[in-house]
Amino acid sequence: MERVLITGAAGFLGSHLCDRFHAEGFDVIGLDNLITGDMKNLEHLIGQDRFTFMKHDVSNYVHVSGELHHILHFASPASPIDYLKIPIQTLKVGSLGVHNCLGLARAKGARMTIASTSEVYGDPEVHPQHEEYFGNVNTIGPRGVYDEAKRFQESMTMAYHRYHGLETRIVRIFNTYGPRMRLNDGRVLPAFIGQALRGEDLTVFGDGSQTRSFCYVDDLVEGIFRLHFSNETRPVNIGNPDEITIREFADEIIALTGTDQKVVYRELPENDPKQRQPDIARAREVLGWEPRVDRAEGLRRTYAYFKSLTPEELNKSEHKAFEAYKR
Ligand code: UDP
């Protein structure tokens, strides 16, 4: 039986990856420091055979005894408001965290996939974004702590690949949504759905003409799974090319939830990318992958999840651990 370590296991993507690897028969070790992650995302796996949880900060030395065949490094704050609140930790998990994982992978002879991001393209001047584009990132802007950590993470991973011959994979993840997103993480989909459910107006930043392309989580997990077991060592974009303006997206959420609330406009955050759409030609070619769940279906499934939350969960601001960590 093969063992896999998944960092960020209690987070949105990490927990879905734990489910997938567990369902495929792997022995899964889920690691998380529970700062932005939530054990609720893993409660169905706790106590099951072939699943172990480790509460640990991957920015510190990671020890795993016994054999280890695969590592997926998915630990990181992943929403603009999170990494603005914990900027140094965001830089550390992308740099020290990836270094610890790569060292562990080398010691164990494990294959490693890192979670990179469309943010390596910054506010892109090339549209749609293909993997050969080098990006347009403001290193010292507020988003720089995330973008540059992820860019460093890619460089470090390629160095281990080239210098140590480590088996590495790099997935560049575009905006993804689905059940288990944190309602208060500040990203646009949980923000809008949370506002609709609480009877608040939907806050569109700027004039809402900026675009994003949203991928349903099951499609993303399928792409990551295929990439991890492929031979592709170059970065691969995984995302849904179906692009939409944020203003149109707000209208879709209003229609989906049937809320009487309206759209209100707020200041656009600094360095907010104007457009984003993945070019997925490489994923199609090398993985035979493309998204299958369209936005209407994905949004229905996601809304069903958010509607199932208790009023307490709906109104909760932040995890206590997160508050403590910020200080
Ligand atoms: N956004 C918005 N209202 C919100 C939250 C986000 O209009 O309440 C916008 C944000 O400015 C950005 C887009 O929605 O243009 C996507 O933001 P998100 O934080 O989800 O992720 P990003 O793609 O910017 O990393």
Label the pairing between strands 111-117 and 3-7. Answer: unpaired
Return the residue whose CA atom lies nearest to atom 24 of ligand 1. Answer: 272
The pLDDT value given to residue 316: 75
- Of the residues 187, 200, 276, 302, which should be mutated to test ligand 1's pocket, given the most ligand atoms within 8 Å of the CB? 187
Sequence letter at residue 217: V
What is the whole-number distance in angstroms between the Cα of residue 159 and the centre of ligand 1?
33
Summarize the confidence of residues 39-56 as an average pLDDT: 98
pLDDT above 90: residue 29: yes
Is the CA virtual torsion 10, 15, 19, 25 positive or negative? negative
Is the CA virtual torsion 267, 82, 175, 144 positive or negative? positive
Q: The domain that contains 169 carries what CATH number?
A: 3.40.50.720
pLDDT above 80: residue 297: yes
Q: What is the DSSP letter of 120?
A: G
Q: Are 177 and 216 in contact (CB under 8 A)?
A: yes
Return the residue whose CA atom lies nearest to atom 4 of ligand 1. Answer: 188
Active-site residue flag, 146: yes
The pLDDT value given to residue 37: 95
Range of the domain at 263: 3-325
Above pLDDT 70, what percent of the chain? Answer: 97
Which atom of ligand 1 is found nearest the CA of 119? 25
pLDDT above 90: residue 45: yes
**What tens digit of pLDDT does each residue of 136-183 get?**
999 999 999 999 999 999 999 999 999 999 999 999 999 999 999 999
Confidence at 311, pLDDT banded by 50, 70, 90: confident
Mapping DSSP to helix (H, G, I), strand (E, B) and coil, where does residue 124 land? coil
Return the residue whose CA atom lies nearest to atom 5 of ligand 1. Answer: 188
The pTM (predicted TM-score) of the whole model is 0.96
Q: Tell me how far CA of residue 235 lies from CA of 7, 76, 191, in angstroms.
A: 19, 18, 30
Confidence at 265, pLDDT banded by 50, 70, 90: very high
pLDDT above 90: residue 313: no
Q: Are 298 and 213 in contact (CB under 8 A)?
A: no
Mapping DSSP to helix (H, G, I), strand (E, B) and coil, where does residue 321 land? helix
What is the whole-number distance in angstroms between the Cα of residue 52 and the centre of ligand 1?
34
Instruction: State the total domains in the chain.
Output: 1
Query: CB within 6 Å of ligand 1 — which residues?
Result: 79-80, 175, 186-188, 191, 203-205, 210, 212, 246, 269, 272
Return the residue whose CA atom lies nearest to atom 11 of ligand 1. Answer: 205
What is the whole-number distance in angstroms between the Cα of residue 208 and the centre of ligand 1?
9
Strand order in the sheet with 27-32: 51-55, 27-32, 3-7, 70-73, 111-117, 168-173, 235-238
Query: What residues contact 229, with CB distance under 8 A and at least 6 apart?
Result: none
Q: Which of 83, 121, 146, 177 is catalytic?
A: 146
Q: Which residue has the higher pLDDT, 319 or 57?
A: 57
